[in-house]
Amino acid sequence: MDTLQNLWHGFSVALAPGVLLYAFIGCLVGTIVGVLPGIGPLAGISLLLPVTFGLDATRAVVMLAGIYYGAMYGGSTTSILMRIPGEAASVMTCIDGYAMARKGRAGPALAIAAVGSYIAGTVSVVALMLLAPPLAEAALAFGPPETFALLVLGLFILAYMSVGSMLKALAMATL
C-alpha cells in the first residue's frame, strides 16, 4: 500500500501545471538540441544546466529530463530528412527513414519516429519504476569482496576474448 501512495504522490507532483510547463519547455528545447548534429542529449543538458539553477529541484529535474528525451527524439528529424543523424542513437534511422523521405513519405517516417520514441520512453520509465527497488537492494548487498570478484571476472573475460597474447590483453585491461 505504501508503494501506491508514493506513486500517487509522485503523479500529483509531476502533473502540477508548473511542472508540466517546464517539461514542455524542456522537450521543446531538447528537440531543438537534438536536431543540431554533434550536440547530443548529454551536451545539451550540460550546456543548459545553468538555466536550472534558479528553479526548485523538481522542476529542474523535470526540465532536464525533458531536454534529454526531446534531444533523443530530435536526432531522428535530421536523420530522416537529410540523412545526417543528430545523435548516435539515430544512426539506424538514416537507413529506413531517409528512404521513406526520398519516396515522399517523410511525414509518416517522422510520425513513426515520434510514436516509437514515446513507446520506448514510456516502457523504459515503467521498467525503471518496477525494477529500481530490487536493483537497489542487490546493489546494496554488494560488498568489497563481491565487487572485487566481479572486477576480476571482467578482466578475465576481456583477456579471454582478446585476440593474440592473453598476457598483453590482461595487462592492457588493468591499465
Radius of gyration of the chain (CA): 21
Find the mean pLDDT for residues 153-158. Answer: 83
What are the grid coordinates assigned to 143, written together? 560488498
Which residues, including other chains, have CB under 8 Å from residue 94's CB and lie 6 or more apart? Answer: 79, 80, 83, 84, 85
Which amino acid belongs to residue 133?
P
- pLDDT single digits (tens) 164-174: 777 777 777 77
What share of the chain has pLDDT > 70, as a percent?
99
- pLDDT single digits (tens) 38-75: 888 899 999 999 999 999 999 999 999 999 999 988 88
Q: Evaluate if residue 100 carries a pLDDT over 80.
A: yes
Q: Evaluate if residue 17 carries a pLDDT over 90.
A: yes
pLDDT-based confidence at residue 1 (cuts at 50, 70, 90): low
What are the grid coordinates assigned to 49, written together? 544546466
Beta strands in the chain (DSSP E): none
Cβ count near 123 (within 10 Å): 10
Angle, CA of 97, 102 and 105, to the nearest 5° = 65
Residue 67 contacts residue 25 (beta carbons within 8 Å): no
Give the global pTM. 0.76
